């Protein structure tokens, strides 16, 4: 099946080459061929049973010249921690929530439906958005089992938005929505050679999304191109009275982010190379140097080196914050969703997993859940101290400091290491990542493909100050156009180093 961009699809619709109904049917066949059979990617956890009927209604609107947006009639997959008030479940990949069907859409789903997007289904993920065990395998959930990387099937798809990334890469949909607390959009996008955007915190509402931590959580677009990602971003941003942080983003939520996607010399753009976020894989560093040269060919002013100097104590403080907020936020979510949810708090979740250990924990446990359960409330001085350290170290004294000192427009670093083999017993093997500073600060970051190492994709992250999405998108769009790096997956069973 051909890979179409959103604008190519709209042109094909206009010419009458096919319609949304036939497109959906093609995707369903592709899913059956690649996801459920063949290589068994296992990226999709559930198909929307009403998807054909929805496509027919949108086709009729098109015939009546009632187009809603560039997303009209475009199939979208959602990560299975995003509520839909339809016949589909929302479980965060957990058997503890099996059977839970919400009576309302998440705010971003309301926005997508209003734009004319077709909710094709839900994607698999690292269970509880990878906040269950320190030995977890990314892309594994008790409900959906192990997602595979379409480039090399025995390599990690990364996570937690594994299914969304794999489905986009394997052309099982046009675009998808992922969520991120720290790396969960960027890392799987990097591992699957697609574009991922982690927006500024509050640009996208979190209401109706199963949480980890309100100080870092956000949803974001995952696509095969910067343009598609920007079009999708336009459709999900907006003020939501149910998520108070979006109050501060009203002005930015009215921006059309596609207007910044123009091809031009970037001679006035200053980019800092964050050298202390490199050096964790030799071949990755080579690809990164090639990417720096691409920026130089775009006439970008490269400032090299700059260093964020984030200390280990900040990483420890971040985990502390996440433990406190996960307990608080998940309990609140479950209590507000009761009596529809099978469990009503974190304690019941831990108890369910313990009683169903063979089905839920055949490979790794729930140490993180247990650590979170032992934490107090958000009035704890330990929590407040850790949160303050996180925000000041990565924000004012981190990214903001670098941007001001060197008069920068953006920062760049390799997103994370090349994909490791899937290891259900010992879990993921990571050697380094650049996702944390922007994630903790709540600042935007975009990852785009920068090449391949032994058939495995790797990406480069472009990040910066709060609400700098316009300049980051411009930089990413020009890099993408000049590099033209992305290739479609080959579904290799494994790779040999002989």
Specify if 429 maps to a domain. yes
Q: How many folded domains does the chain comprise?
A: 1
In a domain? residue 408: yes
Domain membership of residue 170 (yes or no) is: yes
Domain containing 42: what range?
6-483
Residues forming a β-bridge with 272 = 303, 411
Q: What is the pLDDT of residues 245-282, one digit of tens each?
A: 999 888 888 899 999 999 999 999 999 999 999 999 99
* Whether the bond into 305 is cis, omega within 30 of 0: yes
Q: Based on C-alpha coordinates, what's the Rg of the chain?
A: 21
Q: Is residue 498 part of a domain?
A: no
Q: Is residue 382 part of a domain?
A: yes
Q: Does residue 489 lie in a domain region?
A: no
Please pick, among 20, 94, 158, 184, the residue that the annotation labels catalytic. 184
Known catalytic residue at 79 = yes
Selecting among 115, 142, 160, 468, the annotated active-site residue is: 160
pLDDT, one tens digit per residue, over 303-357 is 999 999 999 999 999 999 999 999 999 999 999 998 889 999 999 999 999 999 9
On the question of a cis peptide bond just before residue 116, with omega within 30 degrees of 0, the verdict is no
Interatomic CA distance for residues 346 and 323, integer angstroms: 12
222: enclosing H helix or E strand = strand 218-223
Sign, CA torsion 187/419/193/309: positive
Per-residue model confidence as pLDDT tens digits over 7-59:
999 999 999 999 999 999 999 999 999 999 999 999 999 999 999 999 999 99
Choosing from 20, 43, 79, 122, the catalytic residue is 79
DSSP-derived letter for residue 206 is -
Q: Using an 8 Å Cβ cutoff, are 105 and 219 in contact?
A: no
Both tokens of 464, joined, read: 């910066």
Residue 497 lies in a domain: no
| Alpha helices (H) along 99-184 | 107-115, 127-130, 162-169
CATH of the domain at 430: 3.90.1300.10
Whether 386 maps to a domain, the answer reads yes
Q: What SS3 class is residue 138?
A: coil
Backbone angles phi, psi at 444, to 5 degrees: -80, 150
- The answer to whether 270 and 408 are in contact (CB under 8 A) is yes
- Pick from 156, 128, 134: which is nearest to 41 by CA? 156
pLDDT of residue 251: 86
């Amino acid at each position: 099946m051909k890979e179409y961009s959103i604008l190519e699809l709209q042109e094909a619709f206009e010419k009458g080459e096919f319609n949304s109904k036939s497109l959906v049917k093609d995707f369903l066949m592709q899913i059956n061929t690649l996801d459920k059979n063949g290589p068994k990617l296992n990226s999709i956890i559930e198909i929307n049973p009403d998807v054909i009927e929805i496509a027919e209604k949108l086709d009729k609107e098109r015939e009546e010249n009632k187009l809603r947006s560039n997303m009209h009639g475009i199939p979208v997959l959602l990560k299975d921690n995003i509520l839909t008030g339809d016949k589909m479940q929302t479980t965060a990949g957990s058997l503890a929530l099996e059977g839970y069907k919400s009576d309302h859409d998440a705010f971003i789903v309301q926005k997508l439906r209003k734009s004319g997007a077709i909710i094709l289904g839900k994607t698999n993920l690292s269970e509880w958005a990878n906040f269950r065990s320190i030995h977890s395998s990314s892309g594994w959930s008790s409900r959906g089992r192990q997602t595979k990387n379409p480039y090399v099937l025995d390599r990690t798809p990364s996570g937690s938005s594994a299914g969304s990334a794999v489905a986009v890469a394997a052309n099982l949909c046009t675009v998808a929505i992922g969520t991120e607390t720290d790396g969960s959009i960027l890392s799987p996008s990097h591992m699957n050679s697609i574009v991922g955007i982690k927006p500024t915190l509050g640009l996208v509402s979190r209401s109706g999304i199963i949480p980890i931590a309100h100080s870092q959580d956000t949803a974001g677009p995952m696509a095969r191109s910067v343009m598609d990602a920007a079009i999708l971003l336009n459709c999900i941003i907006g003020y939501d009275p149910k998520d108070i942080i979006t109050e501060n983003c009203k002005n930015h939520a009215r921006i059309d982010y596609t207007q910044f996607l123009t091809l031009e010399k970037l001679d006035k753009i200053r980019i800092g190379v964050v050298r202390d976020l490199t050096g964790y894989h030799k071949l990755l560093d080579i690809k990164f140097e090639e990417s720096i040269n691409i920026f130089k060919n775009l006439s970008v002013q490269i400032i090299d080196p700059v260093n964020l100097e984030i200390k280990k104590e900040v990483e420890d403080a971040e985990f502390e914050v996440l433990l406190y907020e996960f307990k608080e936020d998940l309990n609140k979510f479950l209590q507000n969703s009761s009596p529809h949810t099978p469990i009503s708090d974190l304690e019941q979740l831990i108890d369910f997993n313990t009683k169903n250990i063979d089905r839920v924990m055949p490979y790794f446990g729930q140490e993180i859940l247990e650590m979170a359960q032992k934490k107090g409330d958000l009035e704890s001085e330990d929590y407040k101290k850790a949160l303050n350290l996180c925000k000041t170290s990565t924000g004012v004294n981190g990214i903001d400091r670098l941007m001001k000192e060197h008069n920068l427009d953006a920062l760049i670093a390799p997103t994370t290491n090349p994909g490791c083999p899937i290891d259900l017993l010992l879990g993921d093997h990571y050697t380094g990542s650049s996702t944390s500073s922007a994630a903790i600060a709540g600042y935007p970051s975009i990852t785009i493909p920068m090449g391949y190492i032994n058939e495995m994709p790797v990406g480069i992250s472009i990040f910066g100050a709060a609400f700098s999405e316009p300049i980051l998108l411009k930089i990413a769009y020009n890099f993408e156009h000049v590099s033209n790096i992305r290739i479609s997956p080959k579904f290799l069973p494994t790779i040999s180093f002989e």
